[in-house]
Amino acid sequence: MSPLPGEGRREPPLTARRPGGAGAEPISLQRIELRVLALPMRQPFETSFGVAREKRFLLVSIHADGLTGHGECVADHHPGYLPETIGTAAHVLRDYLAPLAFAAPFATPQELVARLRPVRGHEMAKAALEMAAWDLCARRAGVSLATFLGGTRSRIAAGVSIGLQRDDAALVDKVAEELAAGYHRVKVKIKPGRDQGALRALRHHFPDLHVVADANSAYTLEDADHLARLDTFAPAMLEQPLGWDDVLDHAVLAKRLRTPICLDESLRCVERVRQAIDIGAAAVVNLKPGRVGGLVESVKIHDLCVARGVPLWCGGMVESGLGRTANVHLQSLPGFDPGDTSDPRRYFDEDLVEPPVVVAKDGFIDVPQGPGLGVELITSRLERATQSREALVP
Ligand code: OSB
Ligand code: MG
């Protein structure tokens, strides 16, 4: 595939402003490995779009010069959050992204990202390959991913996303438990019929609680009057109430609410984020590297939000410790409010990495200092979790 004409539109490379590994010897990939992994979950995670009882995901590992880099793909086995799935990600990685990555050496992750641009969409597949490239490049340079990204924080404030509970009393108990664990921010899931009561109960028990309500696209503009009544309970923000790909209706809804709107699903590139801010659809931005095609795009979105004074926080996709760790490195950039980075042990008895991601009693997570992601996969656990694997070569 030859580069598209639009390539000339490229912005100044991040390497102009951030370390990123400019000047390094180019990397020639020797092998890319795709594995489908399954981790049992300790508790189901329920949202307006479904219940997850098991975590299945694709692990992308790249090999070059005796080094390995790993990337966790956030696509689910089901297209209930966004259209990508494990199956589409494996297909696009195998048939389109891997050949582009093998086609020529690349010196920086930014160079690889530019090469993947002819493939439209498939942000989660691209992000996984890109994360592996960041891990490998940073390892080779002997610096942490945080340093490579230009991060300055050595610890980040953890927050927690709480799935739909059996009833409002159970939700109140759960929130109390998570606050006791030290989390700096609480988010709860809502859906029609499970919104007013939940927010009323939370406000009653926790008068000063900063609580985010995430609807995962469970409403339409016809629910505007109903959603406006949630203002009474003063949630800190309402996350993605309307269509998963919508920004226009969110701008209309925003005018009818006091509660600020935060967008998640709809924001899949920096241009979309800018447009959403410009038309008043997003007062707050949830940034997930996997949803926007990776860390290069994430840094652009971070920089835009900081420049525009728009609050920004890092979301989660129920990642294993590997993906969580990448989110921790990203949040070492100044400007992130506490988001959805909670302890992976809330979900998994046996996480895959060492050292594990740990939320300290004061609700902070240390940014790993070792090279790359700064964590290692535990081979025995990786093998146990592996459902299938395939190797791709040039
Ligand atoms: O909408 O933020 C979301 C998890 C899976 C899919 C979508 C969302 C979430 C979360 C984050 O709420 C949960 C977590 O990673 O702990
Ligand atoms: Mg969300």
> Which atom of ligand 1 approaches the CA of 240 most closely?
1
Residue 178 Cβ < 6 Å to ligand 1 = no
Confidence of residue 24 (pLDDT cuts 50, 70, 90): confident
Q: Which two tokens stand for residue 286?
A: 């949830």
| pLDDT at position 292 over 60 | yes
Q: For residue 346, give every residue at least 6 positions away whose Cβ sits within 8 Å of its Cβ, in sequence order, or none.
A: 42, 43, 160
pLDDT exceeding 90 applies to what percent of the chain?
Answer: 93
223 CA → ligand 1 middle, Å: 23
Q: Please give the Cα distance from 73 to 79 (Å, whole number).
A: 14
Mean pLDDT of 3-22: 42
**What average pLDDT does the segment 382-388 reach?**
97
**Predicted local confidence at residue 18, as pLDDT:** 52
Beta-strand runs (E) in 294-349: 312-314, 336-337
**Residue 174 annotated in active site:** no
Distance of alpha carbon 264 from alpha carbon 256, whole angstroms: 20
What is the average per-residue pLDDT within 86-110? 97
What mean pLDDT comes out for the span 129-133?
98
Torsion-angle region of residue 309: left (phi > 0), alpha (psi -120 to 50) or beta? left
Instruction: Tell me the pLDDT band of 7, cut-offs 50, 70 and 90.
Output: very low
- Dmax (CA) of the chain: 60
Is the predicted pLDDT of residue 9 greater than 90, yes or no? no
pLDDT at 8 over 50: no
pLDDT tens digit sequence for 101-112: 999 999 999 999
What pLDDT is recorded for position 22? 60
Nearest-angstrom CA–CA distance, 109 and 136: 9
In the chain, the domains with their CATH numbers are: 14-142+380-392 (3.30.390.10), 148-376 (3.20.20.120)
Say if CB 222 and CB 249 are below 8 A apart: no
Question: Does the beta carbon of 264 lie inside 6 Å of ligand 1?
Answer: yes
Q: What is the pLDDT of residue 3?
A: 37
Q: How much is the mean pLDDT over the chain?
A: 94
Taken as a whole, the chain contains a residue count of 394
3-state DSSP call for residue 179?
A: helix
**pTM confidence score:** 0.94
Mutate to test the pocket of ligand 1, among 262, 268, 340, 351 (most ligand atoms within 8 A of CB): 340
Whether the Cβ atoms of residue 294 and residue 130 lie closer than 8 Å to each other: yes
Banded model confidence at residue 25, pLDDT cuts 50, 70, 90: confident
